[in-house]
Amino acid sequence: MLYKIFFVSITFIIAPTLTPATHQAHASEPHRERYAVKTAAQKITDNQGNGFEALYGTRNMRAVLNGVYYRGGANNYYHRKNKRENQNPLPNDGLQNLCEEGFGQAVYLYSTNFNTAPKTVSCRTFSGQENRLDYVQISPLSYDEADQKKLLTLIHDHIRDPNLGPIYDHCWNGWHASGFVAALALRQFCGFNGEEAVSYWNLNTDGNNEGSSYDRIRQKIRGFQAYQDLLLSEKEKAAICPEPGTLAF
């Protein structure tokens, strides 16, 4: 993957929430300041894919590990120009926009129609750097521990190597599968306990969590055991993790 270098003295005009960076105290800072979310529940793009226009093609996008790891959905059903069924991977403009925003990886958390999507996208980022976005598919709701560790290892790689850029994990709506991976990540990397992570998952389904079909997700979140080889230092946690309870960054 091509290296990415983020300049932090540029003034952006894409969205009104944009704040120019003045220094780079941590590798996550350029995107922390670019999207300027205050909590892990705040949306960057909303349920119809609107919000931060440079990320159009995503849906219900939120920061999990701020500046490094984001989760959400794919904007297909509500797309302004190219509507299609909700059960699809990211639209091409979503992949292109993630690339131009400096993301190095996107992960589709279901398999439906993944074969129709490009697996790599090349571009120039908002800061003028050459970039390549890799698009892969992993299904965490199979509850295969190998898949879960694969996802957490990818996230860990992006935490440890800023040249990889941020990572975006997505399902269809940005509620259930992406929330499941995010809840495990908060347990693994930020020390959330089971109930704190379940509370996070419930909150970020936007109320779509009623019924026994979701009980297994909550059970798997509660039962998760952190991998010792993927733990972060306290300094790393402080730079990117939300606070349990308030979810404030």
Task: Catalogue all structural domains in the chain, each as residue range(s) with its CATH number.
Answer: 29-240 (3.90.190.10)
Residue 27: predicted pLDDT: 64
Distance (Å, rounded) from C-alpha 208 to C-alpha 190? 25
- pLDDT-based confidence at residue 235 (cuts at 50, 70, 90): very high
| pLDDT tens-place string over residues 134-148 | 999 999 999 999 999
pTM of the model: 0.89
For the chain, give the mean pLDDT: 91
* Mean predicted confidence (pLDDT) in 49-64: 98
